[in-house]
Amino acid sequence: MSKYTTTDGEPVPRVSDIFDKIDFRSGALERAAAQGTQVHAMIAETYGAGKAAAIADWMDSSKIKSCVADFYRWRAERPHMPLGAESEVVSDVLRVGGTFDLFAVFGDGRARVVDFKTGSHRGPYWLKLATYALLIEDVYGVEVTHGELVYLGPKAPKGEPWRVEPLGDYKIQALRAIAHWHATNRVQDE
C-alpha cells in the first residue's frame, strides 16, 4: 500500500514518484541519501517535529557537521515562524501526498515552503516545492506564493546557498505533471 492515502483510503502517489527519476540504490547516492536523512531528522527535532537520536549520533561525518552548521546559520539569518516541519500532507483533490521539510512565515510576512538539500544534485526541486505549496493550499487553505531552496553542507553553492523564488509558473507546470502522472500511471502497492 502507498505511504500516502486520501481521507477515503485511496492510495496516492508521493511527490517524489512524480518528479524523481534517480535510482538511489547505487552506493554513492545511497550514502548521500542516508546522510541527508540524518540531517532531516535533526531539522525535525529542532522544530519539535521528530524523535531523533542524540546529536552525537548525527555528527558521524564532516559532511553532516557542515550541514548542521549551515542549517543553524540559515536559521539565524532567516527569522521565521514554523507552521510545520517534516510534515506529511495529502490532497484529496490533487490525489498526491508528500512530506515537506518546512512550512513557515518569514519576516516579509509571506508563508513559504522550504526544501533543505544536502547534496549537489540539481533536480526538479522548484516543481516539488510548487507541488508542496499546492498541497498545503488545498489542505490548510493558506496561500503559498514563494518557495525557498536551502543547500546545506560542503557542496552548497558559494555565496548564497539559499534562494527564494515565486512559485506561480512552477505551480502550473506541477499541475500539468500531476495530471500527466495520473493519466499514465497508477499507485503501486509497496
Range of the domain at 76: 4-184
Round to whole Å and give the CA distance between 40 and 34: 10
Query: Which DSSP letter does residue 154 get?
Result: T
In a domain, 13, yes or no: yes
Coil, helix or strand for 16?
Answer: helix
Residues 6+ apart with CB under 8 A from 5: 11, 12, 90, 97
Backbone phi and psi for residue 156, each to the nearest 5 degrees, phi listed first:
-65, 145
Round to whole Å and give the CA distance between 48 and 42: 10
In a domain, 119, yes or no: yes
In a domain, 190, yes or no: no
At 101, which amino acid appears?
Answer: D
- How many domains is the chain partitioned into structurally? 1
Other residues' Cβ atoms within 10 Å of the Cβ of residue 157: 12
Q: What is the pLDDT along the chain (190 residues), one digit of tens a residue?
A: 468 999 999 999 989 888 764 343 344 444 555 556 666 676 777 776 554 444 445 455 777 888 888 888 999 999 999 999 999 999 999 999 999 999 999 999 999 999 998 876 667 889 999 999 999 999 999 999 999 999 988 877 777 788 899 999 999 999 999 998 889 887 765 5
Residue 151: which CATH number? 3.90.320
pTM over 0.85: no
What's residue 188's pLDDT? 63
What's residue 74's pLDDT? 92
In a domain, 189, yes or no: no
